[in-house]
Amino acid sequence: MKRIKKVKLSLLASVIILASLTACSHKANSSDESKDIKNIITKNETNKETNKETNKETNKETESKKHNETKNKNNEDSSPIANKIKGKNHNQKFKNVAYDVKEIRELSNNGTYKGKKIAFLTFDDGPNNVITPHVLDVLKEKNVPATFFMVGHAISENSKEVLKRAYNEGHAIGTHSLTHDYETLYPGRVPDPDVVVKEEKQAIKLLKKYLGNNFESRVFRYPGGHMSWNKEGLKKSDKALADLNIHWIDWNTMNGDAQPINDPDLARPTTVDEVIKNFDKSKTFTANSDIAVILMHDAADKDLTLKALPSLIEHLKDQGYEFGILE
């Protein structure tokens, strides 16, 4: 009996010890789990912070990229593309520097232009056998193209050879009305669209007579300049011309050969040096002198224009200009 009692006591002690050990084990495991959970929470918090920092850096990079893209877009070269129109007012010799007249008209007054410097030598009121051939000589010697705005009444059997020469040497041919008569074209300073269009068609017909039926010109300059006439009247004549795919262009710089002789502010130059200075001064009056559409004349009395032309061309080259024609 005593032996059985001892065994029972021994078993009871074992159970108590086992229970105690189990409790300790659970406590230890619970402590370990708490540590693990704490570590996971800490790790998650750390990851959150890391992700925040990473996102911040990514956002910064994205914003920086957007900024650079905007900056690059703003600094993009906005130079015009040559020979988009493939005009028929020149023989394609200078096709790589032939530019759309409408685009150049817009760019010549665009103050935000960022592109190469292009000079357009333009000559009004020809052709004639006195000055025009010598202008062509200079252009040929310098290997520089120009655009000639020709008056219909100056195109005849007498001047046809110089006209053909200008075309055959690669220069662009534009129109400058038939009569160059202000009273006929602009009665009361208001352009008459019917007269403007009628004269334009007659001028083109004369050019076709000597340059062939494939010749076409969409390049037009109003006698006296578009800037000189009644704006409301111009809207009608501009539209009438545009309906024929003919587009006007003025100028934004000049050599001064049409300026008043005794104008105290901008007198007509009398020397080659004054011609160069006049051009430089005229650049300061335009929004975009990097696209320089230069007004000159090859009328029979423009000796100084001819004399100054070689110096003006070299001056333009020194200033970084390339040379183009209008199509």
Question: 7 falls in which pLDDT band (50, 70, 90)?
Answer: very low
User: What average pLDDT score do residues 151-175 get?
Assistant: 99
User: What average pLDDT score do residues 190-216 get?
Assistant: 98
| Residue 37 pLDDT > 50 | no
pLDDT at 77: 86
User: What average pLDDT score do residues 2-29 get?
Assistant: 39
pLDDT at 93: 98
Residue percentage of the chain with pLDDT more than 90? 73
* Residue type, position 158, single letter: N
pLDDT at 75: 57
- Strand 172-175 and strand 147-150: pairing? parallel
| Residue 56 pLDDT > 90 | no
Q: Give the max Cα distance, the chain.
A: 156
User: What average pLDDT score do residues 290-315 get?
Assistant: 98
| Residue 160 pLDDT > 90 | yes
Residue-wise pLDDT tens digits, 69-117: 444 445 578 899 999 889 999 999 999 999 999 999 999 999 999 999 9
pLDDT at 190: 98
pLDDT at 36: 41
Give, in degrees to the nearest 5, the angle at Cα 149 between 203 and 211.
55
Q: Are 257 and 286 in contact (CB under 8 A)?
A: no
Residue-wise pLDDT tens digits, 217-273: 999 999 999 999 999 999 999 999 999 999 999 999 999 999 998 887 778 999 999
pLDDT at 59: 52
Which of the residue ranges 39-48, 85-94, 156-165 would you say has the lowest mean pLDDT? Answer: 39-48
Would you state the structure tokens that stand for residue 137, as one six-digit string?
């000589």
| Residue 119 pLDDT > 60 | yes
Paired with 175 in beta bridges are 150, 220
Chain position carrying tokens 């009305």: 177
pLDDT at 53: 52
pLDDT at 72: 45
95-326 maps to CATH 3.20.20.370: yes
Residue whose C-alpha is closest to residue 248's, from 259, 256, 237, 258: 237
Average pLDDT, the chain: 85
The answer to whether the pTM exceeds 0.85 is no
User: What average pLDDT score do residues 171-182 get?
Assistant: 99
Which of the residue ranges 48-52, 154-158, 163-167 would you say has the lowest mean pLDDT? Answer: 48-52
